[in-house]
Structure 1
């Protein structure tokens, strides 16, 4: 049983040290050849929404196919024949053929063309909205990695400090200044920091794997820090608002087309007739020309106009809701940044005081005036305050990037 316990302990320690070896080797790779803009473009090309760009070209081409036709509807050819074969059989015959040509109503073709123009204008707005989405993903991925790096950095510092303390305790135990139990306590503390370091390394590896999955890159841009964009009139430039504006413009154009829905287009009829009265007569040929148009057909377009108006109203309401959502998010981001900056100022003072306190405690321990448990407590406080300070420093940079995202700034 005694041997088994020691074997298990040895296995546990070896396992921890294998994780530490991995943690020491694990670090993010940075490349000067990769910029935030180029990385965003890579993510943009991999977005699921990228496939949605094709629909705009398909819609425009389909609408242009209607607009570019000569007539408002397909031309109709007709042929008819009459004779008296089942009646008097005097030889009466009549042949008539013609073509019905539906004509465009005034303004109908122009309004149809306006829909094509609005569809074409909607595509760039959609692409900019996708690029903003890609920018948001890049910002989130990068700063998750940076936060994981800081956690590993601080865990490594804590482990190195614990190692140094353990070595000092071992020397004093060998010199007879401290009991053997103090060495066991110092070793336990080192193993605890070692475990935290392994956890931090695993988290960093996880974040790097997610980054590689989304971006297709293993390296990070060498420059990732952003400054808050200044003098940005985001209500006029935000890609999501601009896309919604284009949607509204397209629906307005479609509402113009809706007034011709169910309307009867004027019809120009051109035909020829060939006829004779009986067998003794020769055929007589004639040319016919006619036009037909509807009276008071506007009421039949009202359902289509009402439906188009409802869709337009929904889009305008959606824009107002989007504006409120973006305004709220921007306010939240600004308040978060200001709050974190205030926290950093306070935590920096706290860290300076805590580090000074720890050094005094360490000196007292070296002089034999303090026991190891109290020193470890002060060491834990020092590690915690230092880690908190470093995390807040990174969070401020992350929140500046998030503020730019809320402003609609594309990387």
Structure 2
């Protein structure tokens, strides 16, 4: 029977040994980056990726604004006075003044810190979005691999059933077997044919999901290419979710500090010149105008900003603590699942090998007339089930490694 090659990285065994996990199911190393290619294709289609450059530009513009020597652009104030509508004695006065807003104490440094925190938050949100997309790509990839497996095994089962039915038909014609045996064999073919149709539909659905996510055709290779097993470590602050929540808390903290510095409107420095005369015929007198505008009273909106920023900071920090505990539990569960599936792969392969040898024995015995058809069909079904379990366990192990990497916050490589 045709055998397919299933590839799991050789680094997997080394990682299991380093982690203290069993390494009975060591599989040959391979290369390949199907998941990575699908992930990059899917990310190129995401709206967040297309808007990323503009969001970075906005963050940089915010930092540049915080570095300016004035919080707001200067304003030009032009004034003209005349007695033309009263006694019209020729009195005139013209004044041109530039009003320059001034930073409040500590406002500029806090504005720069808030802008820098927002810039970091933009990158953290993009990374977290990529990480969540990686989870969808990994899930779609292994769902397609499982569907391909079911379709391949169903096709093999049909081919074996057809071969057996042809053999039974010849023996029925020769009088070696009863017609009921022929009906049993044809029933097995019909059941296998139905299983192929169901597996084909499932494979089509899985392929369509992959295409809708990545815009690329589904992988056509038969071999399973696993990701590299991750190191035995718990997630740290670089985990995309934790980094996003930490950045969100930092932005809220900086915004609260900025709101605490903006307790009133910005003062203004006024610089200008004036020209005036008392009556017609006199020369214009020029003067320099210097003034300072200082708002009085506190800014009522700053209290609302401080309270809102404080609530957001508390929420983000609380969620960060909860997410840290959840991710640690998820990583531990994923690691234990990989260990269990490693053992399961070894057991399933041993069962498949033994069932295959038994099938060969009973096939020869059936041809010699030493075994009846029900026994032959039972042995064939057991061998098919064993092969299905072995190949399925390899896919489940590879998918578990991907989930382990996902829980650690690692993107496809």
The TM tier, using the shorter chain, reads 0.7 to 0.9
RMSD (CA atoms): 3.5
Q: Which residue of 2 aligns with 1:10?
A: none
Instruction: Identify the range of structure 1 (358-367 vs 398-407) with the bigger mean alpha-carbon deviation.
Output: 358-367
In 2 relative to 1, CA 68–407 (structure 1 residues): closer, same or farther, beyond 3 Å?
closer
Cα gap change, 1:71/1:350 in structure 2, threshold over 3 Å: closer, same or farther? closer
Query: What TM-score results when the alignment is normalised by the length of structure 2?
Result: 0.77
Cα distance, 1:107–1:369 mapped onto 2, change above 3 Å: same
Tell me the CA shift for residue 230 of structure 1.
Answer: 1.0
Q: Does 1:60 align with 2:20?
A: no
- Secondary structure, counterpart of 1:235 in structure 2: coil
Matched, 1:248 2:255: no
Give SS of 2:119's match.
Answer: helix
Name the residue aligned to 1:326. Answer: 327
Larger mean CA deviation between 317-326 and 172-181 belongs to 317-326
Looking at structure 2, the residues matched to 279 and 161 of structure 1 have their Cα atoms a distance apart, in angstroms, of 117
Query: Which structure has greater helix proportion?
Result: 1
- What stretches of structure 2 of length at least 5 have no aligned partner? 3-30
Matched position secondary structure for 2:99: strand
Length, aligned pairs only: 380
Q: Please report how far the alpha carbon of residue 403 of structure 1 lies from its aligned counterpart in structure 2 after TM superposition.
A: 0.9
What are structure 1's unaligned runs of at least 5 residues?
Answer: 1-23, 25-31
- Who is 1:100 aligned against? 99
CA separation of 1:51 and 1:59: change in aligned 2, threshold 3 A: same
Q: TM-score, normalised by structure 1?
A: 0.78
Q: Partners of 1:83 and 1:38 in 2: how far apart?
A: 79
Residues 276 and 210 of structure 1: CA distance in aligned 2, closer, same or farther (over 3 Å): closer
Aligned to 1:394: 395
Match runs of 1:191-210 below 5 Å = 191-210=190-209
* C-alpha separation in 1, matches of 2:216 and 2:32: 12
The structure-2 alpha-carbon separation of the partners of 1:368 and 1:125, relative to structure 1 and needing over 3 Å to count, comes to same
Give the match for residue 47 of structure 1. Answer: 46
Tell me the SS of whatever aligns to 1:106.
Answer: coil
> In the alignment, what sits opposite 2:25?
none
- Distance of aligned partners of 1:93 and 1:179 in 2 relative to their CA distance in 1, 3 Å threshold: closer
| 330-339 or 392-401, which deviates more | 330-339
1:100 is paired with a residue whose SS is strand
- The alpha-carbon deviation at position 332 of structure 1 amounts to 3.0
Matched, 1:382 2:389: no
- Which residue does 2:315 correspond to in 1? 314
Tell me how far apart the structure 2 counterparts of residues 375 and 35 of structure 1 sit (CA, whole Å): 40
Within 5 Å, give how 1:97-176 maps onto structure 2. 97-176=96-175
Q: Following the alignment from structure 1 to structure 2, what is the Cα–Cα distance between the partners of residues 347 and 242?
A: 40
Name the CA distance, whole Å, in 2 between partners of 1:103 and 1:188.
90
Change in CA separation of 1:305 and 1:397 when aligned onto 2, cut-off 3 Å: same
Displacement of 1:291: 1.9
- The 2-side partners of 1:67 and 1:152 are apart by 61
